[in-house]
């Protein structure tokens, strides 16, 4: 039988549908998954003061902060992705988040304010030890924003909890990022819609997969407004400004943390440079939906053909 449950976690809703031998087993499996996400939140949240990440961000400047092995491993992983994306993914952008007031009402910073924020942003303002589990904050005002990878990490932990509980099939939707494994209710691969960048209720494409995670990034989903100007929540760490709202990018990866990170990076890189980057990778499938003069253009790397399906295929299934 299938058990469906949802919980409000990490500032959004996590919905789980899991196949289980009976209702009690399904409830226990989903509860284990929710608990795993709560643990990830207690490690990574930058919205609460008692998380380990919050303590890192408040650590005295110049003094090494001892990390738990789990957080040290995660930050080491994040550092690799920052290097592999030439800085398009860089969660050390807390000062820029503050400059644009993305967690408040929104603000258009002056040129001087933006320059000051850029000077205190980026991984270069942190020293992560390669041999000991420590990190050192180098500048007052510098802090790490986990929004570009925290949800993916939490999904990774939730999947592990479900598998430990003996679950063979499940779909998780965590604020729009989807993770699946096994088969759907009809014993078939999962069919996942990809929303139109500007009309979120309209599917613009369909994906089919048996396992993995689907993460979509765009500037239309989350934003603040200042002086009548919309400010997207994804910033370009290289310029300090919001990434242009050219459309959306969807990434399919076996690891949900990778899907989360790469979709953020490729939105920043843009469809041209992003596609060049994606064509060199075999570990991710990438779909760009580009809005040009009222039309929607689809582009993707070679791995996308393994997942992209036509509307007629979807209609035959339903």
Residues 20-78 have pLDDT tens digits of: 999 999 999 999 999 999 999 999 999 999 999 999 999 999 999 999 999 999 999 99
User: Is-same-fold flag (54-143; 189-317)?
Assistant: no
Average pLDDT in the 175-189 region? 96
CATH number listed for the domain at residues 189-317: 3.10.520.10
Distance CA 81, CA 123 (A): 11
Q: Which residue has the higher pLDDT, 201 or 110?
A: 110
CB atoms within 10 A of CB 24: 10
Q: What CATH architecture is 54-143?
A: Orthogonal Bundle (1.10)
- For 250, residues 6+ apart whose C-beta sits below 8 A from its C-beta are 194, 205, 207, 214, 215, 216, 263, 286, 287, 289
Residues 226-256 have pLDDT tens digits of: 666 777 789 999 999 999 989 999 999 999 9
Domains of the chain: which residue ranges?
54-143, 189-317
The residue to which tokens 């994804």 are assigned: 234
Report the percentage of the chain scoring pLDDT > 90. Answer: 85
Q: Are 166 and 18 in contact (CB under 8 A)?
A: no
Provide the pLDDT for residue 71: 96
Distance CA 192, CA 164 (A): 25
């Amino acid at each position: 039988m299938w058990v469906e449950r949802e919980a409000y976690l990490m500032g959004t809703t996590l919905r789980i549908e899991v196949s289980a031998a009976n209702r009690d087993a399904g409830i226990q499996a989903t509860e284990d998954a929710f608990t795993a996400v709560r643990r990830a939140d207690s490690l990574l949240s930058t919205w609460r003061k008692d998380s380990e990440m919050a303590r890192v961000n408040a650590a005295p400047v110049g003094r090494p902060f001892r990390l738990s092995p789990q957080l040290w491993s995660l930050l080491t992983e994040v550092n690799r992705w920052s290097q592999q994306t030439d800085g398009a993914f860089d969660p050390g952008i807390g000062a820029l988040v503050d400059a644009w007031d993305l967690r408040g009402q929104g603000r258009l910073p002056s040129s001087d304010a933006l320059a000051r924020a850029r000077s205190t942003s980026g991984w270069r303002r942190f020293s992560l030890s390669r041999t000991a589990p420590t990190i050192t904050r180098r500048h007052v005002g510098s802090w790490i924003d986990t929004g570009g990878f925290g949800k993916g990490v939490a999904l990774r932990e939730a999947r592990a909890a479900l598998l430990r509980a003996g679950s063979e099939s499940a779909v998780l939707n965590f604020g729009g990022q989807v993770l699946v494994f096994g088969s759907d209710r009809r014993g078939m691969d999962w069919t996942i819609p990809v929303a139109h960048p500007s009309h979120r209720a309209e599917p613009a494409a369909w994906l089919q997969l048996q396992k993995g995670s689907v993460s979509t990034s765009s500037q239309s989903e989350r934003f603040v407004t200042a002086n009548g100007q919309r400010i997207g929540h994804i910033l370009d760490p290289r310029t300090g400004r919001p990434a242009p709202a050219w459309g959306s990018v969807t990434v399919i990866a076996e690891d949900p943390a990778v899907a989360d990170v790469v979709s953020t990076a490729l939105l920043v890189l843009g469809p041209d440079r992003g596609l060049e980057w994606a064509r060199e990778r075999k570990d991710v499938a990438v779909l760009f939906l580009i809005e040009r003069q009222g039309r929607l253009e689809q582009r993707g790397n070679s791995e996308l053909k393994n997942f992209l399906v036509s509307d007629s295929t979807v209609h035959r299934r339903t």
